Structures are given as structure tokens and as C-alpha cells.
């Protein structure tokens, strides 16, 4: 028996020892026998291994509640359960279940199972569709079933969800490991946090690379002349897109289609082909595609230094 199955069986024993399975004396009302438990499991195995989900009507109550670690919440009702199983059968057509061990106490049965198959079709999940990987899936788990009137009224399923993420194409990356976040991603920054800076003639810009976007903080004195900085760019205008929030001052943005005045407390989008004019000392924060805006910054910096004789 594999290590995972041994661990699962030990877990079941601990659960039973802790008292999850009620009762220790003789059989009372509502208690089930090992033969009854085996009959329930046999029907389940036949239903899943032959993809005959209609057979589940004979062992589950219509209002069954199933607690499954792969789902965002309890599965309420037999039809919802069959729909979830149907998604599994569609994505893993060769899915097979086996019984590894069986325990009975009171009105509950607990059985250790192994599921295996190949992920060859699209898997529909509560979070969206997962494309097939062609990889084999195999894991063990425990199902604890409470029976009422001969049918499963509530079910708790336990297995290691991480064992199926790999075959589904996911990678589990520990916190802080390389690749766990986008390169250069900054969750929260302030003016003083940004080491990449430009300061020329009263103009101050500070930058942070955030994924494929460039975050820029601006402090601009009234009358900042962008026309001389954008000279030589397409149409002598800034060719980059920007998304920004205005903090202080007054700002005019001209495009070929017209002009807009921006004031504090306003968020705005600037299309390619624009010319700003600083009407008052201004401060704002801006996001721009780095591939579009970095060349503009480098161009403007070269012109500014040339004008200063640097």
C-alpha cells in the first residue's frame, strides 16, 4: 500500500478515535451494518466506474449535502452533485475509483478510496474552464457518509487538493520563491520609496516598474515646457498612453481632437499623440505601458540635458 493510502487510513482511525463516529455499544436505531455499508460503496463504485450516475439515486438522498475540498462551498442536492461528477467524467473519461478500506460505526461509514484517470478533456470548474494536459491523475482520499433511512444524507470528502493541481497544469510556488509574483511588482509605494528619479530645472519624476507598466510620480512647476522635450517624437507629441490621477494644481492636455483641463481629484486617460501644459504647480501619479513610455522619458531626458549643455 502506498504512503498516501497509509496516511489516509491513519487519519480515518484518528477521526474515529476522536469520536466523530458516534457510539461504542451495541447496534441501535439508525445504525448500519458492514454489509449495508459495502452495498452503498459498491453502488457508488459502479456508478462512477461505468459513468452511470443515475445509479446514485439509489444511495443518496435528494437533499444530500456534500462537503468537497475542491469546491468553494457545500454541494447542495443530488442533482448538483451529479452535475459536478459529470464534469469530472467529461474531463477524465477513463476515471476509475477503487475501495481501499472500509469502516463502520453508528449511522456512518468511512471508506478510503483511490481515484485514477487521465486529464484529456476540458475541465469545467467553479472558477472557469481548465484546458486538458493529457497527464495522468492518481490520488487517495477518505469519504465519511452519514446515512438516514438507508441513504446518504451528508458526506464529508477529504483529499489533498495539491495532488490534482499538477496534472491540471498548475504550479505550486512557495511564498517568496522566484516567479511567485510579476517581476518588479510593488504592492504599495510612496514618493519617498522610489529610487529611480529625474530632477531637472524644478521638474521631479520618480518611477517604479510594476509588471509591464511604469508608475510615475510627477512634481511639475507652472510653465514646464513639454514642447521642447517632445520635439523629434511623432508629430512632436507624446506617443504613449497614460492612466493617471491628479493630486494638485491645474493641467491642460491637448490632442488633435481637442483639449481637456484636469483638476485635483480627477482620474483621466490620455491617448497617444498629446501635449500637456502645466497651468499651475502640479502633482499627479500616472501608469503607462513601460514599452511605450520609457523611450519617451529617455528622449526627453537627452533633450533636456542637451539644452543644459550636459
In a domain, 181, yes or no: no
Q: Which of 165, 183, 201 is the last residue of a domain?
A: 165
In a domain, 145, yes or no: yes
Q: From CA 217, how far away is CA 232, in angstroms rounded?
A: 24
**155 and 243 assigned to the same domain:** no
In a domain, 259, yes or no: yes
Read off the CATH number of the domain in which 120 is found.
3.10.450.50
Q: From CA 308, how far away is CA 2, in angstroms rounded?
A: 74
pLDDT of the residue at 176 = 47
pLDDT of the residue at 18 = 43
- Pick from 114, 117, 86, 99: which is nearest to 43 by CA? 99
**96 and 197 assigned to the same domain:** no
Number of domains within the chain: 2
CB count, 10 Å around CB of 81?
A: 20
The x, y and z cell numbers of residue 249, run together, are 494644481
Mean pLDDT of the chain: 83
pLDDT in tens, 253-287: 999 889 999 999 999 899 999 999 999 999 999 99
**9 and 152 assigned to the same domain:** yes
pLDDT of the residue at 11 = 52
Read off the CATH number of the domain in which 273 is found.
2.60.120.10
pLDDT of the residue at 203 = 84
- Pick from 20, 6, 8: which is nearest to 108 by CA? 20
**161 and 195 assigned to the same domain:** no
pLDDT of the residue at 207 = 85
Tell the residue number behind the cell numbers 477529504, with chain if given.
158
Residue range of the domain that includes 154:
3-165
3-state helix, strand, coil in the chain (%, to 5): 25, 35, 35
**pLDDT above 90 as % of the chain:** 54
**145 and 259 assigned to the same domain:** no
pLDDT of the residue at 14 = 46
In a domain, 248, yes or no: yes
The x, y and z cell numbers of residue 59, run together, are 444511495
Which parts of the chain register pLDDT below 50? 1-3, 5-10, 12-26, 176-186
pLDDT of the residue at 300 = 82
pLDDT of the residue at 130 = 79
Phi-psi region of 73 (alpha: psi -120 to 50; beta: other; left: phi over 0): beta
pLDDT of the residue at 199 = 76
- Pick from 179, 1, 176, 170: which is nearest to 70 by CA? 170
pLDDT in tens, 142-164: 999 999 999 999 999 999 888 88
The set of residues, in sequence order, having a beta carbon less than 8 Å from that of 49 and lying 6+ positions away, is 95, 96, 97
Report residue 114: phi and psi, to 5°. -125, 130
pLDDT in tens, 228-243: 888 999 999 999 999 9
- The answer to whether the beta carbons of residues 91 and 123 sit under 8 Å apart is yes
Tell the residue number behind the cell numbers 441513504, with chain if given.
151
Q: From CA 184, how far away is CA 281, in angstroms rounded?
A: 30
Please tell me the number of Cα atoms within 13 Å of 63 on its side-chain side.
2
Amino acid at each position: 500500500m502506498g504512503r498516501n493510502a497509509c496516511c489516509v487510513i491513519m487519519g480515518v482511525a484518528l477521526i474515529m478515535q476522536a469520536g466523530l463516529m458516534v457510539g461504542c455499544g451495541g447496534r441501535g436505531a439508525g445504525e448500519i451494518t458492514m454489509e449495508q455499508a459495502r452495498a452503498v460503496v459498491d453502488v457508488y463504485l459502479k456508478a462512477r466506474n461505468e459513468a452511470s450516475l443515475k445509479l446514485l439515486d439509489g444511495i443518496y438522498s435528494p437533499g444530500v449535502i456534500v462537503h468537497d475540498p475542491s469546491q468553494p462551498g457545500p454541494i447542495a442536492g443530488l442533482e448538483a452533485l451529479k452535475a459536478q461528477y459529470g464534469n469530472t467524467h467529461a474531463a477524465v473519461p477513463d476515471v476509475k475509483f477503487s475501495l481501499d478500506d472500509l469502516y463502520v460505526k453508528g449511522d456512518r461509514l468511512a471508506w478510503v478510496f483511490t481515484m485514477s484517470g487521465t486529464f484529456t478533456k476540458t475541465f469545467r470548474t467553479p472558477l472557469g474552464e481548465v484546458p486538458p494536459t493529457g497527464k495522468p491523475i492518481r490520488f487517495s482520499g477518505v469519504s465519511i457518509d452519514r446515512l438516514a433511512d438507508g441513504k446518504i444524507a451528508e458526506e464529508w470528502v477529504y483529499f489533498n487538493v495539491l495532488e490534482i493541481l499538477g496534472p491540471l497544469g498548475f504550479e505550486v510556488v512557495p511564498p517568496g520563491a522566484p516567479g511567485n509574483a510579476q517581476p518588479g511588482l510593488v504592492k504599495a509605494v510612496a514618493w519617498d520609496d522610489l529610487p529611480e528619479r529625474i530632477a531637472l530645472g524644478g521638474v521631479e519624476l520618480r518611477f517604479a516598474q510594476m509588471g509591464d507598466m511604469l508608475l510615475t510620480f510627477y512634481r511639475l512647476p507652472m510653465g514646464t515646457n513639454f514642447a521642447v522635450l517632445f520635439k523629434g517624437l511623432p508629430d512632436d507629441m507624446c506617443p504613449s498612453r497614460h492612466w493617471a490621477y491628479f493630486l494638485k494644481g491645474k493641467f491642460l492636455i491637448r490632442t488633435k481632437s481637442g483639449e481637456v483641463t484636469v483638476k485635483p481629484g480627477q482620474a483621466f486617460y490620455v491617448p497617444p499623440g498629446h501635449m500637456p501644459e502645466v497651468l499651475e504647480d502640479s502633482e499627479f501619479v500616472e501608469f503607462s505601458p513601460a514599452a511605450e513610455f520609457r523611450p519617451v522619458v529617455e528622449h526627453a531626458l537627452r533633450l533636456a540635458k542637451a539644452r543644459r549643455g550636459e
